[in-house]
Amino acid sequence: MPTFYEILEVAPSADAQTIESSIEAHYNQIRRLTTHYDAAVVNQANQALLVLEQARAILLNPSKRADYDSSLGFAVGGLAIEGTTPPAQFTSTGGVQVPLSNFQQPVQAQAALVANVWVCRKCQRPNPAGTSFCQNCGETVGRICPNCQATYEAKANFCPRCGQNYDAAAQKSQLSAELSKKKIERYSQPAASSNLNDALFMEYVITVGTGWAIYMAVTTILFLFLTIFRLIFSVIPYQNLNEEWVRTVVSIFSGFVTFLRWVIFAGVAGGLFMMHRRNAFALNKIAFAGYVFLSFLGIVFGGWSFYEQVYRNQGNTWLIFQSLIAGAAIAGGWFFTRSYAGANQYPPFSISFLKPVQPLMLQAIHYFDRYFMIACGAGAGLAFLTLIFSAMSSVLSFFGGLFSLGAAMCLGILAYRTSVVVETARMNMKNEQQALQARLTHMDAEIANLEDQIQKM
């Protein structure tokens, strides 16, 4: 059984100062266990403190220490007496009987307590096993293994359950979390989308508006020439108009005008197609087919011939059908592009013969954008005036042609403006798609790098 010297871990020959220091050290260590949450541990700590007090009372008293050493078989100075055997118990000078078996219990209790407490590295306070932070100073005394989630003492370098090093496991766990985050971010990226709404309908406006503006302008110029000739013929006496050669000339001229209308129809359609082939025009095939069909109807049901205008004093209805389509196209163009006014930079014309008029066109577009609703309203109003005045047989039909030219110009500006809006939106969408692809490529590289690092750990 252990003696007081063995409990205090000092030699039997130790002086009083050494014994006093050892008693204080053991006392401070065991005293912390008196506040343990386990009542059994508190009881064992109190018994251990009692043994230390007994050791203090005996070993620091010279006469009692001499009797104690004699009972252990030691002579003065801590030397063993030959042929003696330490008794199982002793009786001090004061008559207090202390069983040596009591010295065994504090040592066993202390060993058990060390296994069931985690001592703070900062303040040395014992804490119950499983505690994350010190109850005295808040220092970390326990941590969770990032690999197997087991809780173990913070001063241990390796997890007792899975054997993983804490730093390596923490790094791997951090990389895994970052990998999961990157994958979620990667596969939750929104698809590239254009800010342009109703793009398909705007392409209809471009195709029909451009074609109809050109067709309407050219046929209106022809209409104005015919109106001038009709006014000239109107001042010739009727009996002179009935001469055979005059009727023949008027008939030939009337047929030639009809032929010109078909040429204009085919020329505008072919011009649009060639512009599309040279990438100078975004041609919507459905809208192009619709334009061709409407132009055909405009020629077939375009009104009276020049012969009937001269001899029956009838106005010409060429521009009535054209003005109806122009007004509808202007209204549709305003509806689909109203939210894009004044927001575009207009590129130079790519067709050589249009470049001389580009400054005037850009200035017209500038004012058109500034007063967008007013300009569209004016274009629709001009189309309506064309509808009224173009069929008159008097000089007012000439003004109908002028109104038709104005409506054609408004429709042409609107169509060009709409084409720039669509092209700008397409470029923005293309840039957005490229930026998105670059982001996705970068994220895929980061994910591959993280997976490689985790694989190597």
Domain boundaries, the chain: 4-119, 129-193, 199-441
Q: Residue 408: pLDDT band by 50, 70, 90 thresholds?
A: very high
Average pLDDT of 387-407?
88
Residue 414 has pLDDT above 70, yes or no: yes
Cross-strand partners of 298: none
User: Which pLDDT score, from 0 to 100, does residue 382 have?
Assistant: 93
Q: How confident is the model at residue 354 (pLDDT cuts 50, 70, 90)?
A: low
3-state SS of the chain is CCCHHHHHCCCCCCCHHHHHHHHHHHHHHHHHHHHCCCHHHHHHHHHHHHHHHHHHHHHCCHHHHHHHHHHCCECCCCCECCCCCCCCEEECCCCCEEECHHHHHHHHHHHHHHHHEEECCCCCCEEECCCCECCCCCCECEEECCCCCCEEECCCCECCCCCCEHHHHHHHHHHHHHHHHHHHHHHCCCCCCCCCCCHHHHHHHHHHHHHHHHHHHHHHHHHHHHHHHHHHHHCCCHHHHCCHHHHHHHHHHHHHHHHHHHHHHHHHHHHHHHHHHCCCCCCCHHHHHHHHHHHHHHHHCCCCCHHHHHHHCCCCCHHHHHHHHHHHHHHHHHHHHHHHCCCCCCCCCCCHHHHHHHHHHHHHHHHHHHCHHHHHHHHHHHHHHHHHHCCCCCCHHHHHHHHHHHHHHHHHHHHHHHHHHHHHHHHHHHHHHHHHHHHHHHHHHHHHHHHHHHHHC
Mean pLDDT of the chain: 76
Q: Is the pLDDT of residue 47 over 70?
A: yes
Rounded CA separation 317/378 (Å) = 22
User: Picking from 105-109, 122-126, 148-152, 229-233, which range would have the lowest pLDDT averaged per residue?
Assistant: 105-109
Q: Is the model's pLDDT at 86 over the cut of 50?
A: no
CA 412-413-417 angle, to 5 degrees, is 120
> 418-454, pLDDT tens digit by residue?
877 777 777 777 778 788 888 888 888 888 888 888 7
Predicted confidence (pLDDT) at residue 402 exceeds the cutoff of 90? yes
Q: Is the pLDDT of residue 77 over 90?
A: no
Q: Which helix (H) or strand (E) holds 97?
A: strand 97-99
Name the 3-class secondary structure at 58. Answer: helix
Contacts of residue 350, Cβ cutoff 8 Å, sequence gap at least 6: 278, 279, 280
Give the pTM: 0.51
> Where does the pLDDT of residue 98 fall: very low under 50, low under 70, confident under 90, or very high at 90 and above?
very low
pLDDT confidence band for 102 (50 / 70 / 90): very low
Model pLDDT, residue 100:
35
- Quickly tell me which residue has 């000739």 as its tokens: 229
Q: Where are the beta strands (DSSP E) in 253-405?
A: none
Q: Which two tokens stand for residue 145?
A: 């293994």
C-alpha triplet 39, 45, 49: angle, nearest 5°: 145
* Residue 387 binned pLDDT confidence (cut-offs 50, 70, 90): confident
pLDDT of residue 403: 94
pLDDT of residue 88: 37
Residue 430, both tokens:
């293309």
Helix (H) or strand (E) holding 362: helix 358-370
- Give residue-wise pLDDT tens across range 175-223: 788 888 888 887 777 765 555 555 666 777 787 788 888 888 988 898 8
> pLDDT tens digit string along 279-324?
656 666 777 787 788 888 877 777 777 777 777 777 778 788 888 8
End-to-end CA distance of the chain: 52
Structural tokens at position 432: 């957005």
